[in-house]
Structure 1
């Protein structure tokens, strides 16, 4: 995963809740990678990308990907990922990710 991400990637999530209201969360890349590698092997997780829209202008691209996230085959949450990419030396790197999460 690190190979496709910028060293300075920005990671944010918007948790949507009718009860608690909307909350913007920031995460640093080190904590993000650590959280992925610390998932126990007996936990099955899958993010299903439902569709995508990609826009490119020169060295910048944006991908919009609605998704559903499953834990042990049960729907955990859904939302949209928005990725911003930067092209440097014929290689695309993700520089920004923000997603929405709702139950």
Structure 2
């Protein structure tokens, strides 16, 4: 069963551990079943691709998935890594940055 994640497509995140520590990027895709995310410009790998009917062959570079625990949201106010919390605004549940209390939406 897939778990509920606190990240969404389009969120700005920073890598907090691993080979690409310190790099920032935007989430391109969330893989809920595997608890992984694709981050733009992070964990770039080279793949050898065979030529097909409409596809050019050769060595291509693309982003590989990174585990969601290795990324942290960027606080919209301070531009530093932060944890995510939830707050009710009226009858709507909103994600907030724990560091500043600013809304992430």
Shorter-chain TM-score bucket reads under 0.3
* More RCO (CA 8 Å, sep 6+): 1
Higher share of residues assigned strand: 1
Higher share of residues assigned helix: 1
Q: Give the structure-1-normalised TM-score.
A: 0.27
